[in-house]
Amino acid sequence: MKYNVQITVMPLKDLLDPQGKAVLVGLNNLGIHSVEDVRVGKHITLIVEAASAEEAKSVAETAAKQLLANQVMESFEISVN
C-alpha cells in the first residue's frame, strides 16, 4: 500500500535562523508588523510503498536521519496519512 508521509525539518529552537530573520525583516518592509518571530524549515512529502503505516514511518525516519535532517542543527517530525 502507498502511504503519504510528511516530514517537517526545522532549525533547533536554540539556534539562530538567518533565513527566518530575513523573512521577518521582509514582512516588516511590507508593512506587516504583527509577526514577532519567523522560523523557516523544510517540508518533505514522501510517497512510500509499505505494508503498514508503522513501516512507512520507519522508512521516513531512516530517510530523515540519513539524508534530510542534520540533527546537529535541525529537528524533524514525521506524520503518516
Among 8, 12, 74, 75, binds a copy of itself (CB under 8 A): 8
Q: How far is the CB of 18 from a copy of itself (least distance, A)?
A: 14
Cβ neighbours of residue 56 under 8 Å, at least 6 residues apart?
3, 5, 48, 50, 80
Any contact of residue 54 with a copy of itself (CB under 8 A)?
no
Q: State how far the Cα of 18 lies from the Cα of 42, in Å rounded to an integer.
A: 14
Residues that bind a copy of itself (CB under 8 A): 2, 8-10, 20, 23, 26-27, 30, 32, 34-50, 59, 62-63, 66-68
